[in-house]
């Protein structure tokens, strides 16, 4: 996969704070800074099995009416990164402390899941 030509999806600087658990900081070629928690990235893992999980949850959430008994929240420690390695020059692969390591986060994907409201509007608003 080539580096995206879109400067909004090209990283100018990437810092992955594995040992401190602080998450990932990326400054994009267009000057926009993004910060991602590892827990957030774990939830947004783009691999096939996590995609399936998310779809299942979305379907279940659609079925569950307000009268259905709420699921007890299971205690789950916040996942952190065990290791993170660059994949070529287009992605990073993160292994999480919950044992999951299949997720390859392309910079393209990372920019589109930037948690800030600007990117939510730009990349995730319906019909955009
Ligand atoms: Zn995954
Ligand atoms: Zn953003």
> Where do the structural domains in the chain lie, given as residue ranges?
8-57+78-124
pLDDT tens per residue, range 35-52: 999 999 999 999 999 999
- Contact status, residue 87 vs residue 100, Cβ threshold 8 Å: no
For residue 123, how far is its CA from the centre of ligand 1 (angstroms)? 21
What is the model's pLDDT at position 70? 55
For residue 71, how far is its CA from the centre of ligand 1 (angstroms)? 23
Percent of the chain with pLDDT over 70: 85
Q: CA 22, 89, 114, 28: dihedral to nearest 10 degrees? A: 100
> Which whole-number Å values give the CA distances from 114 to 47, 56, 99, in the listed order?
18, 23, 24
- Nearest CA to 40 out of 59, 20, 24 is that of 24
pLDDT tens per residue, range 80-125: 999 999 999 899 999 999 999 989 999 999 999 999 999 999 998 8
For residue 120, how far is its CA from the centre of ligand 2 (angstroms)? 7
Alpha-carbon gap, residue 14 to 72, rounded angstroms: 38
For residue 83, how far is its CA from the centre of ligand 1 (angstroms)? 15
Domain 8-57+78-124, CATH number (from 3.30.2020.30, 3.90.660.10, 3.20.20.100, 3.40.50.300) = 3.30.2020.30
Q: Is the full-model pTM beyond 0.85? A: no
Phi-psi region of 79 (alpha: psi -120 to 50; beta: other; left: phi over 0): beta
């Amino acid at each position: 996969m080539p580096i995206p030509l879109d400067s909004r999806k090209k990283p100018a600087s990437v810092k992955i704070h594995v040992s401190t658990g602080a998450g990932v900081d990326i400054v994009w070629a267009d000057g926009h800074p993004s910060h991602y928690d590892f827990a957030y990235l774990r939830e947004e893992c783009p691999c096939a099995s996590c995609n399936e999980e998310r779809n299942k949850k979305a379907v279940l959430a659609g079925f569950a009416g307000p009268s259905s008994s709420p699921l007890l929240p299971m205690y789950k420690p916040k996942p952190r990164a065990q290791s993170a390695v660059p994949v070529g020059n287009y992605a990073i692969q993160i292994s999480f402390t919950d044992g999951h390591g299949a997720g390859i986060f392309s910079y393209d994907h990372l920019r589109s899941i930037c948690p800030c409201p600007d990117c939510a509007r730009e990349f995730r608003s319906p019909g955009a």
